């Protein structure tokens, strides 16, 4: 039983880092593409894509958890 609690703590702690990590990765990809292509606007769409990807994954995990706990 204690290992189940620690597994849940670890899973939800990972969710706390999910959104910031995807945001930083999206920005970094856009920034690197801007540097490589000598542009100054690609970081914005990639930042938005990173944020959206983080929210999508967050919602998917929460829906999966609520579905598993509801039945």
Q: For the segment 7-65, what is each residue's pLDDT rounded down to a tens digit? A: 888 888 888 899 999 999 999 999 999 999 999 999 999 999 999 999 999 999 889 88
CA distance 38 to 34: 5
User: pLDDT category, 68, cuts 50, 70, 90?
Assistant: confident
pLDDT of residue 37: 97
Distance from chain centroid for Cα 24 = 9
Q: Which residue range(s) make up the domain with 35?
A: 2-70
Q: How many domains does the chain have?
A: 1
Q: How many residues does the chain have?
A: 71
As a whole number of Å, the end-to-end CA separation of the chain is 19
């Amino acid at each position: 039983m204690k290992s189940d609690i620690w597994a849940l703590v670890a899973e939800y702690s990972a969710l706390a880092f999910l959104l910031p990590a995807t945001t930083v990765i999206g920005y970094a990809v856009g920034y690197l593409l801007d540097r490589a292509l000598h542009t100054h606007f690609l970081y914005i769409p990639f930042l938005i894509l990173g944020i959206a990807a983080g929210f999508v994954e967050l919602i998917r995990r929460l829906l999966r958890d609520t579905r598993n706990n509801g039945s």
